[in-house]
Amino acid sequence: MKKIIIIGGGIQGCTLAVHLLKKNKINNSDLLIIDKNDRPLSNWKACTNIISMPFLRSPSVHHMDVNPFSLEKYSKQSDYHKVNHFYGYYDRPSLEMFNDHCDTLIHDLNILKCWHQGNAAGIEKHKGYWMVKTAEGKTFNTEKVVLAIGLGEHPFWPEWAEQSCKDAASIYHIFQKGMPELDRITLPVSIIGGGISAAHLALSLSKKYPGQTSLIFRKDLKVHTFDSDPGWQGPMYMDKFNQINDYSIRRNTIIEARHKGSITKELYLGLKSAEKSGKIKLIKNEAVSYDTVAKKLHFKTGEPYEAKSIILATGFHSSPPGMEWLKNTVENENLRCAKCGYPIVAPETLEWEEGLFVMGPLAELEIGPVARNIAGARRATERILRAI
Ligand SMILES: Cc1cc2nc3c(=O)[nH]c(=O)nc-3n(C[C@H](O)[C@H](O)[C@H](O)COP(=O)(O)OP(=O)(O)OC[C@H]3O[C@@H](n4cnc5c(N)ncnc54)[C@H](O)[C@@H]3O)c2cc1C
């Protein structure tokens, strides 16, 4: 019998694991992390690597370790202090340094000892313990389960893209499994989306394929430093949020607070400068269909546009992750969900049912607009630890 099973070994699940182990709440042998991938942070690394993101959007104090200044300390103790690996006013860390810091924690805490590669397919409550079943036929008993499943595996395809050409070889979602090497795409290429992933990808491709890259977005590009106001990190906005009893209002508040599809100032300036030098075309228009034979993108207004490859950078689905396999547990244990489908959990500990916890997107109705981010992982960890 394990003491804790964490389902999902992304940023969220690994942050919890680091805190549990470092604070001596648990030994490696009592902890199990079940994840579909063979190693920690696979989705994070794949998503950030493919778009060539040089720096994180979040500040240096947002990382997986316990001490908020751990990353800063790490940079001083390693070779990272020789060249500046922090960007701008908020000391945003380079992806390279951030990932090395994560890997060092994972190595030093021997987190791979707690790792089980598998696809969690069901959770059953028994007298005094939980049983986790995997699609591969394994079962594991545990005192507590934490659901740390992210949205990373549910890329969002707009309806026109799905309808006109999901099977066509010339249209992809940048976060789909099996995305081909970007060196092999046919040109010219159009990237669809106006958010941070689209902008990073567009800038990187415009360097590789100058004059053959376009970025297509529906609304004016929005510039915001973070993907929600820093007031959501603490009591400034969260005190009021916590007083909202109606979960539909909480959901709307989260939607309004998130600067979805926004980019940082340096990305905006980078795009404008690439446009000026003819490396990229910035096109504000709404794609409505794609002719896979003629390789033309059709817009709401104006002429069809030649694009031999389309790469969607349209984010992830907004529906709660994992509900297809959690359905039976929700029904059998009468677990509460809001109208939006997301769990209603105990505010103090993020417990959905005794011994069953959530973090990441599934904890959004308690943690608020930052739940999906690294800051949210830290906040959720703090609350779950209260019950352990
Ligand atoms: C390009 C990009 C840049 C970002 N930059 C930042 C940033 O700078 N700062 C910030 O704070 N946030 C950032 N984010 C947001 C967020 O921090 C990341 O998306 C982060 O990777 C989310 O972590 P996660 O653990 O929730 O999800 P994931 O990384 O998706 O991990 C969840 C894990 O759960 C596993 N899983 C799911 N279902 C099951 C199952 N049934 N059985 C077993 N395993 C399962 C998955 O395989 C996966 O490994 C960024 C996101 C993206 C996409």
In a domain, 244, yes or no: no
Q: Ligand 1 pocket: which of 71, 372, 384 to mutate (most atoms <8 Å of CB)?
A: 372
Task: State which of 36, 145, 227, 266 you would mutate to test the pocket of ligand 1, scoring each by most atoms of that ligand within 8 A of its C-beta.
Answer: 36
Sheet with 287-291, edge to edge strand ranges: 287-291, 296-299, 305-306
Q: Indicate if 85 and 22 belong to the same structural domain.
A: yes
Virtual torsion, Cα 67, 71, 72, 77, nearest 10 deg: 110
In a shared domain, residues 103 and 30: yes
Q: What is the pLDDT of residue 178?
A: 84
User: Do residues 147 and 292 share a domain?
Assistant: no
Task: Say if residues 308 and 186 touch (Cβ distance below 8 Å).
Answer: yes
Cα–Cα distance, 306 to 290 (Å, whole number): 10
285 and 184 together in one domain: yes
- The answer to whether 263 and 222 have CB atoms below 8 angstroms apart is yes
* DSSP one-letter code for 337: B
Q: Are residues 95 and 115 in the same domain?
A: yes
pLDDT of residue 165: 64
Co-location of 87 and 174 in the same domain = no
250 is a domain residue = no
Q: Give φ, ψ of 295 to 5 degrees.
A: 55, 45
Q: Is 256 left (phi over 0), alpha (psi -120 to 50) or beta?
A: alpha
Length of the chain: 388
Same domain, 170 and 303: yes
Q: Which atom of ligand 1 is nearest to the CA of 118?
A: 43
> What's 293's domain CATH number?
3.50.50.60
Q: Would 13 be classed as within a structural domain?
A: yes
Residue pair 180/172 in contact by the 8 Å Cβ criterion: yes
Query: Going by C-beta distance under 8 Å and a sequence separation of 6 or more, which residues neighbour residue 40?
Result: 9, 10, 14, 33, 102, 106, 111, 112, 115
Domain that holds residue 264: 159-224+259-312
Statement to judge: residues 324 and 304 lie in one domain: no
Q: Which residues contact 373 (CB under 8 A, 6 or more apart)?
A: 58, 62, 227
One pLDDT digit (tens) per residue for the chain, 388 residues: 999 999 999 999 999 999 999 999 999 999 999 999 999 999 999 999 999 999 999 999 999 999 999 999 999 998 898 888 999 999 999 999 999 999 999 999 999 999 999 999 999 999 999 999 999 999 999 999 999 999 988 899 999 998 766 556 789 999 998 898 999 899 999 999 999 999 999 999 999 999 999 999 999 999 999 999 999 999 999 999 999 999 999 999 999 999 999 999 999 999 999 999 999 999 999 999 999 889 999 999 999 999 999 999 999 998 999 999 999 999 999 999 999 999 999 999 999 999 999 999 999 999 999 999 999 999 999 999 999 9
Query: What pLDDT does residue 242 have?
Result: 96
Q: Are residues 24 and 86 in the same domain?
A: yes
pLDDT at 167: 58
One domain, residues 8 and 141: yes
End-to-end CA distance of the chain: 16
As for how many domains the chain has, the answer is: 2
For atom 23 of ligand 1, the residue with the nearest CA is 11
